[in-house]
């Protein structure tokens, strides 16, 4: 059963028969910049985040993702900037991307803010034909050939510039965000015995919602909501985190509310190691049709917050001297 599923995964990746999906993160609520460039710098400090995710543990060819980002405010121009680097490996293909982000932040009131952001960068996609096996292929040493015009015998690569846009609003204890992140699917075409390898754009959209509820001076509840869609398919995730004394937290999520999108139930825990560093772990309990072939997903996140303003801070308001009126 595992070999059959692995073969299907690799085959779909090779032919581009299904749209490539953006990496999945169970700890999305602790890393909003991964989904929306408009959130860069909103914490008024330098923030560094690293994530390692192993999806569908025990299933050969399953996704493994590494993600790091850094963002900070630019007070003087009421803006934020960030850098995100991501590497996603699924079976025979690897997607590596690096983007720079910028956003402009506007105060809507004493406790409200609107941020408009965009990202630009570069994505490289590679397909390793050595990891594929076709029914008609010949794999007896020293011969290695798939005997298939669509499948490369070696590694093929393609690169493309990428652009993202996002909007994020903070309204007292409520946070709302919408972003568009283009995802690229491989397209292989046989032409005169060679492979023409290109990338096809598949636009993905996500919307997030979070609310902070202070139960008392020690306990805080934070429900959050994330919707991801490529228009053809939509997946919804709802989460709740309880934080105790700002030092430890635990929570749960449920991802996928329809038969076609149901994916996992998630358990997560975290601890504040010191004033600047937070460590969190999430375990996905599989609920999809692949639950018979994997032992769940693991995700580890470490987050560093400098917890102090960068530079001189915002410029003070201009106070005109009445003498010069």
pLDDT at 269: 98
In a domain, residue 291? The reply is yes
The pLDDT tens digits of the residues spanning 151-196 come to 777 788 888 899 999 999 999 899 999 999 988 766 655 544 455 6
Walking along the chain (325 residues) 10 residues at a time, the average pLDDT comes out as: 43 45 90 96 95 92 94 93 96 91 91 94 88 78 76 81 95 94 69 60 91 94 95 92 94 91 94 96 93 91 90 48 40
pLDDT at 196: 61
φ, ψ (nearest 5 deg) of residue 77: -110, 20
In a domain, residue 302? The reply is yes
In a domain, residue 75? The reply is yes
Q: Is 129 helix (H, G, I), strand (E, B) or coil?
A: helix
Domain count for the chain: 1
pLDDT at 11: 44
Determine the structural domain holding residue 128 and report its residue range: 2-307
In a domain, residue 323? The reply is no
Within the chain, strands assigned E span: 47-54, 64-74, 79-90, 93-109, 112-128, 155-171, 174-191, 194-211, 213-214, 219-229, 234-244, 248-255, 264-272, 277-286, 297-305
pLDDT at 188: 58
Output the CA–CA distances (angstroms, integers) from residue 277 to 48, 50, 83, 144, 302, in the order listed. Answer: 9, 11, 19, 49, 7
- CATH number, position 12: 2.40.160.40
In a domain, residue 66? The reply is yes
pLDDT at 227: 95
Apex 12 CA angle, 130 and 164, nearest 5: 100
φ, ψ (nearest 5 deg) of residue 76: -60, -30
User: pTM to 2 decimals?
Assistant: 0.85
In a domain, residue 92? The reply is yes
Q: Is 9 helix (H, G, I), strand (E, B) or coil?
A: helix
């Amino acid at each position: 059963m595992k070999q059959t599923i692995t073969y299907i995964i690799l085959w779909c990746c090779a032919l581009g028969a299904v749209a490539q999906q953006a990496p999945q993160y169970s700890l999305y609520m602790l890393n909003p910049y991964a989904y929306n460039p408009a959130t860069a710098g909103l914490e008024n400090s330098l923030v560094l985040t690293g994530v390692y995710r192993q999806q569908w543990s025990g299933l050969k060819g399953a996704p493994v993702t590494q993600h790091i980002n850094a963002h900070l405010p630019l007070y003087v121009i009421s803006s934020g900037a960030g850098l995100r680097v991501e590497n996603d490996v699924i079976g025979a293909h690897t997607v590596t991307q690096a983007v720079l982000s910028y956003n402009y932040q506007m105060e809507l009131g004493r406790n409200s803010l609107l941020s408009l952001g965009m990202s630009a960068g570069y994505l490289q996609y590679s397909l390793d034909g050595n990891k594929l096996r076709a029914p008609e292929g010949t794999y007896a040493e020293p011969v290695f050939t798939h005997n298939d015009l669509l499948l490369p015998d070696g590694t093929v690569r393609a690169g493309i510039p990428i652009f993202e846009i996002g909007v994020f609003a903070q309204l007292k204890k409520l946070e709302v965000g919408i972003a568009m992140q283009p995802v690229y699917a491989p397209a292989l075409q046989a032409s005169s015995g060679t492979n023409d390898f290109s990338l096809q754009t598949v636009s993905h959209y996500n919307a997030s919602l979070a609310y902070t509820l202070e139960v008392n001076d020690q306990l805080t509840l934070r429900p959050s909501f994330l919707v991801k869609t490529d228009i053809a398919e939509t997946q919804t995730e709802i989460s709740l985190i309880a934080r105790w004394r700002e030092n430890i937290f635990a929570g749960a999520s449920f991802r996928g509310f329809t038969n076609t999108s149901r994916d996992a139930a998630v358990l997560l825990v975290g601890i504040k190691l010191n004033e600047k560093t937070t460590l969190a772990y999430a375990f996905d309990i599989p609920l999809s049709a692949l639950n018979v072939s994997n032992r769940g997903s693991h995700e580890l996140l470490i987050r560093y917050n400098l917890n102090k303003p960068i530079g001189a801070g915002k410029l003070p308001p201009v106070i005109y001297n009445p003498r010069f009126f």
